[in-house]
Structure 1
Amino acid sequence: MTKHTEADAKREGPTLDAADSDGQSASMSIEHFLGKVVRENRTNQGLTIAELAEQSGLSRGMVSKIENGQVSTSLESMVSIARALGISMSSLFKNFEGQEGRAQHVKAGKGMEVVRRGTTKGHTYHLLAYDQGPVKLFEPFLISMDDEAEIFPTFEHPGTEFIYMLQGKMEYRHGNRSYLLQPGDAFTFRGSVPHGPERLIKLPIRFITIIMYGQTQGGVES
């Protein structure tokens, strides 16, 4: 697998997919979106297409085409429909921007391998998600270790770090204390305190670590 630096990770990320509640690809044109909103408002008010057409001054055929997303409607027509329904123009469009969920889906084994300070043979970081915005909010990694002779540096960074052990056994140092971590253990601590693996007891070792940046409410004492 090709290795990348952390800077590369900011530039190269997985495809962001629009997904509906079932996790499947979803995309809706503005014509279909507006048609759906008009139809929902009309039926909620107990109006027929003919009644809405009469109140808006449009033909029944035009209202039907609008509801079925079959026509690009003029602004004037949409103003007439909004008035006939007794709703504002903004309410017709208010959920359009948020209709498509933005999600990252990293397939098994496809997390980007990131080179970090202190990583050597037998010690890999796979970045599992990528912040696309200007501010990094969190970094989730899958970390694997299989060389008991490796010597680890200590790490310090802003924010809070969370570790969940998946496999193996190790002693992990945080500040002046060491903790025995085994599968199923969860460990949370302040990243500003020096920390890192101290002794690998049972190999191979795999764990998820999530670094959460920014302000946190309260603190986790070492």
Structure 2
Amino acid sequence: MENHANLDSFIGKVINNFRKKQGLTIAEVSEQSNISRGMLSKIENGQVSPSLDSLLRISKTLGVPISAFFKEFDSEGESAQLVRADERLEVVRRGTKVGHTYHLLAYDTGPNKTFEPFLISLDNKSEIFPSFSHEGKVFMYLLEGEMAYRHGKSIYQMKPGDSLTYDASISHGPEDLIQVPIKFLNIIIYGNSDNT
């Protein structure tokens, strides 16, 4: 029974870390996963054994495979990961409500992410996009379309093949969607920025 309690505690910590890394509140995950705030809080604190259905709903909301909740419990994990095009997870992020579509291209193992690669699509030219700010550095590579992208007070005109690297803690976001659809690769790199 002690091992079972350890697993509940481990899963709770992993979920809590994934949620905080994405800047999501318990209320936001609760709404998207259709699990009560109280139950989510108990799961994160290791006070209950979550059902597989609950774990599946939480994994979809956080954009991680359900196996990520268990992977490092009793193994060292794998050194390589293949995610096929039809297996990419569409995930909820802060921009989802305003027209961004996010596909997570790799699932970093364990609760401490070092990076997150996304394929982001913008389809609605008339949509107004807010500013974003979060931890980490970002490498962006434009694959399709054309847009003006704002970082701080600067505006960058981007066409396919252009790349932009920036500090994500500074306000950023699309300024003008010049030619849609727009697709770009966005890699968020976490860690100590003092060593870069």
State the TM bucket, normalised to the shorter chain. Answer: 0.5 to 0.7
Q: Which residue is 2:123 aligned to?
A: 146
Q: How big is the shift at 1:107?
A: 0.6
- AA in 2 matched with 1:5: T
Change (3 A) 1:116 1:105: same
Higher Cα radius of gyration: 1
State the TM-score, normalized to the length of structure 2.
Answer: 0.61
Q: How big is the shift at 1:160?
A: 0.5
2:181 and 2:106 mapped to 1: Cα distance?
A: 23
Matches of residues 89-104 of structure 1 in structure 2 within 5 Å? 102-104=79-81
Q: Which residue is 2:135 aligned to?
A: 158
The yes-or-no answer on 1:4 pairing with 2:49 is no
Q: Tell whether the 8 Å contact from 1:172 to 1:178 is kept in structure 2 after alignment.
A: yes
Query: Which of 77, 95, 120 is 2:97 aligned to?
Result: 120
Query: Which of 158, 162, 166 is 1:181 aligned to?
Result: 158
Change (3 A) 1:176 1:204: same
Change (3 A) 1:101 1:134: closer
Deviations 1:69-118 (A, max 9, x none): xxxxxxxxxxxxxxxxxxxxxxxxxxxx99x9621111113211011123
**Structure 1 unaligned blocks of 5 or more:** 17-96
2:172 and 2:164 mapped to 1: Cα distance?
A: 12
Q: Tell whether the 8 Å contact from 1:173 to 1:198 is kept in structure 2 after alignment.
A: yes
1:127 and 1:178 mapped to 2: Cα distance?
A: 26
1:215 and 1:10 mapped to 2: Cα distance?
A: 26
State the TM-score, normalized to the length of structure 1.
Answer: 0.54
Q: Tell whether the 8 Å contact from 1:175 to 1:193 is kept in structure 2 after alignment.
A: yes
Q: Tell whether the 8 Å contact from 1:170 to 1:199 is kept in structure 2 after alignment.
A: yes
Q: Runs (4+) of structure 1 moved beyond 6 Å? A: none
The yes-or-no answer on 1:105 pairing with 2:160 is no
**Structure 2 unaligned blocks of 5 or more:** 1-56
Q: Tell whether the 8 Å contact from 2:98 to 2:128 is kept in structure 1 after alignment.
A: no
Aligned residues: 134
- AA in 1 matched with 2:64: A
2:61 and 2:124 mapped to 1: Cα distance?
A: 22
Query: Which of 167, 180, 194 is 1:203 aligned to?
Result: 180
Query: What RMSD in Å do the two structures reach over aligned CA positions?
Result: 2.7
Q: Tell whether the 8 Å contact from 1:112 to 1:128 is kept in structure 2 after alignment.
A: yes
Q: How big is the shift at 1:12?
A: 5.0
Aligned-partner SS, 2:64: helix
